[in-house]
Amino acid sequence: MRELLRTCLLGVLLVFSAIGTPAGALDLALVVSGKGGAYERFAQSLRASLGAGPHRLYDGGNLEEGVAEDVVRRADLVLAGGFPAAEAMLGRSSRPLMAVLISRSQYRALRRSHPDAPFAAIVLDQPPARQLALVHAVLPERNRLGVLYGPDTRDQEREFVALSGKSGMELLGQQVSTPLELTQALERTLEASDALLALADPLLSTPTAARSILLSSYRYRRPVFAWSRAFVDAGALAAVYSGPGDIARDVVDWLAALPAGRLPEPQMRMPRHFGVALNSQVARALNLRVEDAASVLRRLQVEERP
């Protein structure tokens, strides 16, 4: 009888153990580049988005205070926040990795230096279709759009042109290879266009380049569409962007869509969750009547629904 009870008790414990550890649940180690700021907001949003789901999130530390190597070794998947963390973890760990809070150009640099590493990424760069949709939603009557392409965004020109043709928008593109070419390219583009789309190219997104873009556009009285909230605060009219909370939701969505026990494929994804920033002072200065950011965001979200 005692042996039978022991066997039954063991069976019950195994059942509850299986319930407590769902099949396919992953142990995630979060390693970020630094303390506070966007990294802390991402960590908080990720914990909230994971909620009571099957995956478990562990603090793997940061590059400033030290990485918890034992946590990383035990993880099924390392989440690296920021380029320095992703670069460091790819160099010191063989664990599968997902890089977040990095740009497309940074992903490419990581892939070049670690061509065979098992890592995926969600980049901050927005899809071209979403950027054009923002311009159309904010300025539906303006259809001549200037775009500057730098060395890292030049390969997107064909996609932008194809998308603009479908929407009836006239795209006036200029390629810029060096900082010295920026001023002349800006003047040619602004003179012929109704608005300017500034892409997140490393050559065109330096503080000096951003200041030149804003000053030139103000002189020509052309609104600028940008890639970040900070650029809008500095004087651009509008931007579609993905913050730390948006990227955290993208991570959770990606993991939720995986078959049980599978890890993300080594690929780059652009964000699916995003926000919109609008500068009402710039709109008034340019005598533009535009909707509020919340209304524009809802319109873009509706357009992207399957």
Percentage of the residues of the chain whose pLDDT score is greater than 90: 82
Give the bridge partners for 275, in sequence order: 241
> Exposed, middle or buried: residue 273 (CB in 10 Å: 0-12, 13-18, 19+)?
middle
pLDDT tens-place string over residues 233-261:
999 999 999 999 999 999 999 999 988 77
CATH code for the domain in which residue 141 is found: 3.40.50.2300
Q: Which of 179, 123, 130, 128 is nearest to 151 (CA)?
A: 179
Q: Where are any strands of DSSP class E within the chain?
A: 27-32, 56-62, 66-67, 77-81, 97-102, 119-123, 144-149, 170-175, 195-198, 224-226, 238-241, 268-269, 275-278
112 and 160 within one domain: no
What is this structure's pTM?
0.88
Domain membership of residue 4 (yes or no) is no
* Average pLDDT score over residue span 53-79: 95
Domain membership of residue 13 (yes or no) is no
- Which pLDDT band, with edges at 50, 70 and 90, does 22 fall under? low
Contact between 165 and 194 under an 8 Å Cβ cutoff? The reply is no
Domain span holding position 76: 24-124+246-269
Note the pLDDT of residue 43: 97
Domain membership of residue 7 (yes or no) is no
Note the pLDDT of residue 260: 78
Is the model's pLDDT at 4 over the cut of 90? no
CA distance 13 to 7: 10
Note the pLDDT of residue 289: 93
Domain membership of residue 182 (yes or no) is yes
* Average pLDDT score over residue span 104-112: 95
Rounded alpha-carbon distances, angstroms, from residue 304 to 5, 206, 243, 244, 273? 58, 30, 18, 20, 10
298 and 263 within one domain: no
* Average pLDDT score over residue span 99-116: 95
Is the model's pLDDT at 267 over the cut of 90? yes
Domain membership of residue 279 (yes or no) is yes
pLDDT tens-place string over residues 150-207:
999 999 999 999 998 887 889 999 999 999 999 999 999 999 999 999 999 999 999 9
